[in-house]
Amino acid sequence: MASIRKLKSGYRAEIARQGIRKSKVFPTRQEAKDWAARAEYEILNGDKIAAKLRLGELFDRYAREVSPGKRGHRWEVIRLEKLCRDAISQIRLEDLTAKDFAAWRDKRLGEVAPASVIREMQLMSSVLNVARREWELISANPLSDVRKPTKPQPRDRLPTAGEVEAMRFSAGEDLTKATARAFHAFLFALESAMRAGEIAGLEWDRVDLERRVARLTHTKNGRAREVPLSSEAVRLLQALPPLDPVFGLSSRQLDALFRKLRDRAGVVGLTFHDSRHAAITALSRKLDVLALARMVGHTDLRQLRVYYNESAEELAKRLD
């Protein structure tokens, strides 16, 4: 039953139904009574109400309540907004089945690469799991029964010395120019194995040139880490003009400028992130696997296999 209590700040409505207790304070008694009536109805008819919800309403709620607490929330929100415009978002939860998601998967595979479909399926599955575990709107996640597309083979693209020189010429040497700093960031990535977002977010108060350490507070896995810097990495930092953040570029600027100078240099198929592959492959010759994992921020040693790209010919030379 609902009870309304007078407080100095207003009226507290309290309800207790089916083992569920809720309370809230309102400025007027009528508002408190109205809320209590709605809350009791929702508890008693929760399954019926939830069943009438559309999948898109879950996407919208997740974008508002869950995504903002995540690193990379901007990508999630944009992706969820796009999913809300898809026909699958109009299906009611009571009608939603694994067959609907399988049909969506097959249609989406005709539009984007399998890796993109996998990421979107993982995001939708996260939404459905929260709806099941925390919001108690569904009893099962129908997407868990749907086969994901086959993962593509990991990239093994490494920059050649000739490509690096061509991009150096394309970018120019004047580090007061943003394009030159974008290439400078690529060279720094080749030395440090840091990701583009980590480099763009690096600030001077987290760089100790004497100790040769850069402290990263915002990383992909959410764990802060200290990155040891080679003497060449220190030299690259010292050559920069006084800017804060260190490279004076946002992640978006860094990505756009790198693509521009790469294309101008006639380099095909190379991404900024390929610098991480090259760096980890080079560092594997200097560090043991545990030290390497700590430097690059991998908690699962198996992840290093995705980035380690030393050729069989190079390994053969090391055997002698």
Q: Which of 276, 277, 298, 307 is catalytic?
A: 298
| Residue-by-residue DSSP string for 9-24 | TEEEEEEEETTEEEEE
Assess whether 195 carries a catalytic annotation: yes
Degrees, nearest 5: CA angle 172-178-179 = 40
Q: Which of 6, 220, 286, 305 is catalytic?
A: 220
**Which residues have C-beta within 8 Å of that of residue 69, sequence separation ≥ 6?**
none
Which residue reads 């069943």 in tokens?
Answer: 51
Q: What is the number of helices (H) and of strands (E) in the chain?
A: 15, 6
Assess whether 220 carries a catalytic annotation: yes
**Which residues have C-beta within 8 Å of that of residue 287, sequence separation ≥ 6?**
295
What is the C-alpha to C-alpha distance for residues 163 and 271, in angstroms, rounded to an integer?
12
Q: Which of 105, 181, 195, 277 is catalytic?
A: 195
Degrees, nearest 5: CA angle 76-81-84 = 125
Structure token pair of residue 56: 């898109």
For residues 192 and 280, is the Cβ–Cβ distance under 8 A?
Answer: no
Assess whether 61 carries a catalytic annotation: no
Q: Which of 22, 61, 177, 308 is catalytic?
A: 308
For residues 49 and 92, is the Cβ–Cβ distance under 8 A?
Answer: no
The SS3 of residue 31 is helix
Number of residues written out for the chain = 320
Torsion of CA 211, 213, 217, 221, to 10 degrees: -140
Catalogue the active-site residues.
195, 220, 298, 308
